[in-house]
Amino acid sequence: MKSSFGRSFSVFAGILLVALTVLGGSFQMMVQDYLTQTSFQSLEQDAQIIADLATSCLDENSLSSREFLMNLDVAAKVSGSDTVICNTQGKVIICSDNLAECRHKGLYVNQDYLNKVISQGLDRATGLIKGLYDDERFLVASPILSDEGKTLGILIVSSPLAGVNAVLTRISNIFLTIATLVVLASVLAVSLFARRESKPLQEMARVANAFGHGELEARVKIEENYSEEVEELALAFNNMASSLQKSEYRRQEFVANVSHELKTPMTTISGYVDGMLDKTIPEEKWPHYLQIVSDETKRLSRLVRSMLDISQLQTQEGIPDEKKIQFDLEDACSQVLLTFEKKIDDRHINVQVDMPDHPVFTFANEDYITQVIYNLIDNAVKFCPEGGTLGLKIKEGGAKAYVSVSNDGDTIPPEELPLVFDRFHKLDKSRSKNRDGWGLGLYIVKTIVCAHGENISVTSRDGKTEFTFTMPLVN
């Protein structure tokens, strides 16, 4: 599998090579076309000048005028091209290469080509001129006409392709040299850039690997030179790591708390049962200890039931409307309060109820809200001192109904208030048996209220603690 650097470099190198190839090929073709057109235009001009000169200086019977030869020699030297003149039979009679004695004199040009030039009036071509030159040339052929329009001969002006090819070769060499330097510079720049950009990704991979091996404190260090996207990725990774770290700590705490809470009743149950089996506990005391075993078993059952309720609520995305009904909050509170009548009387607790004179209807899951009220009142009764006051109040405000349960007792320290709704959190750190409960009551309360899309809060000051939750008000 290629690295990020390898992929970036491969893509860039491919694009750069294609771009340079297309650019070089296009430039080469344009230069070649330009030089070809320029050469032909120059040869055509020379041919036209020499043809006009020949027409004015020559006639049918005089093809070796001294004046014409001198002018032809000058024209050839100025233009740098070679000129041969053939008679109508294709025989070379004059050559600018050597006006006195030229190796081309007496040679013949193909008769079909002569006929083609005479019929077309002008011809341009590239290649070998068989019988005259051994190298490839640009050539322009034109008939020499008399004033009466009679063909006196054929004029062939040519120049070697070697000059154009040399220019193209030089341009290609310059282009290849520059392209090589550009490629090398680009490779160096891309290498440095890609390695710099891939470095934070490698760092994230290292930190993620360390995090996966249990180093929960591992975080990505964000540098100032990080790009915006990489910085966002690093921040997202660190936030995710922090969230996972908190979840892991909560899981560890949850396992530790569950183990601690289960240990005491199970040890109690095991000890008393073993005592009865080995006769350490006399038979006449069995009913007493069996009752203790029964109570501890019920407590374990309540724990399991509470955990199942929490799991069910957490798997739902809110309470669906089909599981909600319209009911009276005052009636629900009154019914729950009656179930605590004996406990309230036994501890001589004063009860203050403050509710409107009319029903307060809400739209919610009645069973869940009844459990919320039950847990809050149970919590208030549990922590209210003997002879203290328990308050139950319902207030309307806007589109909300506010249900408050309060009790006298020790003030909750401010640092403990944000934790009271946490799972397995207890103000009594000793978790002794004489303190009933599992630390799940308020956690279940908050879970149910939040599942309805509502809020719950707690205040504790001057020896009074009050829990208040909201419910939608139905007029």
Low-confidence winner among 38-47, 90-99, 137-146, 162-171 (lowest mean pLDDT) = 90-99
Question: pLDDT, tens digit, for every residue of 61-71?
Answer: 455 556 667 77
Closest to 109 measured CA to CA, from 119, 117, 100 = 117
Residue 393 reports pLDDT greater than 70: yes
* Mean pLDDT over each residue of the chain, to the nearest integer: 80
Q: Return the residue matching tokens 């995710």.
A: 240
3-state secondary structure of 144: strand
Do residues 39 and 159 touch, judged by C-beta distance below 8 A? yes
Question: Rounded CA gap, 329 and 472, in Å?
Answer: 11
Q: What integer pLDDT is reported at residue 213 of this predicted model?
A: 82
**Per-residue pLDDT band at 375 (split at 50, 70, 90):** confident
At 468, phi and psi to the nearest 5?
-135, 130
345-370 average pLDDT score:
91
How far apart CA 75 and CA 155 sit, in angstroms, is 13
Burial 190-214 (b: 16+ CB within 10 A, else e): beeebeebbbbeebbeebeeebeee
Average pLDDT over residues 261-268: 71
Distance CA 131, CA 344 (A): 132
Q: At what angle do helices 161-212 and 4-57 cross, to 10 degrees?
A: 170
Q: Write out pLDDT tens, residues 181-210.
A: 888 888 788 777 777 777 777 788 888 888
Is the pTM higher than 0.75? The answer reads no
Backbone phi and psi for residue 446, each to the nearest 5 degrees, phi listed first: -65, -40
Smallest Cα–Cα separation from 367: which of 425, 451, 299? 451
Maximal C-alpha separation, the chain: 161
Average pLDDT for 429-455: 68
Of 264-278, 290-304, 347-361, least confident by mean pLDDT is 290-304
What is the Cα–Cα distance from 53 to 68, expressed in whole angstroms?
7
pLDDT score at 429: 45
For the stretch 299-308, contacts whose Cβ atoms lie closer than 8 Å and that sit 24 or more positions apart, written own/partner, are 299/265, 299/436, 299/438, 300/262, 300/265, 300/266, 302/438, 303/261, 303/262, 303/438, 303/440, 306/438, 306/440, 306/444, 307/440
Distance between CA atoms of 13 and 19, rounded to whole angstroms?
10
Q: Which of 85-89, 95-99, 321-325 has the lowest mean pLDDT?
A: 95-99
* Banded pLDDT at 435 (limits 50, 70, 90): very low
In this prediction, residue 437 carries a pLDDT of: 46
pLDDT at 434 over 50: no
Q: Give the N- to C-terminal CA distance of the chain in Å, as an integer.
A: 66
42-65 mean pLDDT: 68
Q: Could you tell me which residues come within 8 angstroms of residue 286 by beta carbon, excluding any fewer than 6 positions away?
A: 276
Give Cα 141 to chain centroid, integer Å.
67
- The percent of residues above 70 in pLDDT, for the chain, comes to 83
Identify the pLDDT of residue 362: 95
Neighbours of 362 (CB within 10 A): 23
Q: Is there a contact between 179 and 24 (Cβ–Cβ < 8 Å)?
A: yes
- Average pLDDT on 13-36 reads 83
| Confidence at residue 377, expressed as pLDDT on a 0 to 100 scale | 92
Spatial separation of the C-alpha atoms in residues 275 and 289, rounded to whole Å: 10
Burial tier of 121 (Cβ tally within 10 Å: 0-12, 13-18, 19+):
exposed
State the alpha helices, DSSP H only, in 347-411: 366-383
Q: Which residue, 167, 89, 82, is CA-closest to 133?
A: 82
Residue 76 has pLDDT above 80, yes or no: no
Is residue 127 within 8 Å of 141, Cβ to Cβ? no
- The DSSP letter of residue 394 is E
pLDDT category, 431, cuts 50, 70, 90?
very low
Q: Is the pLDDT of residue 5 over 80?
A: no
> What is the C-alpha to C-alpha distance for residues 295 and 292, in angstroms, rounded to an integer?
5
Strand 151-160, strand 92-95: pairing: unpaired
Give dist(CA 154, CA 119) in Å, integer.
12
Tell whether the model's pLDDT for residue 158 goes beyond 70. Answer: yes
Residue 60 has pLDDT above 70, yes or no: no
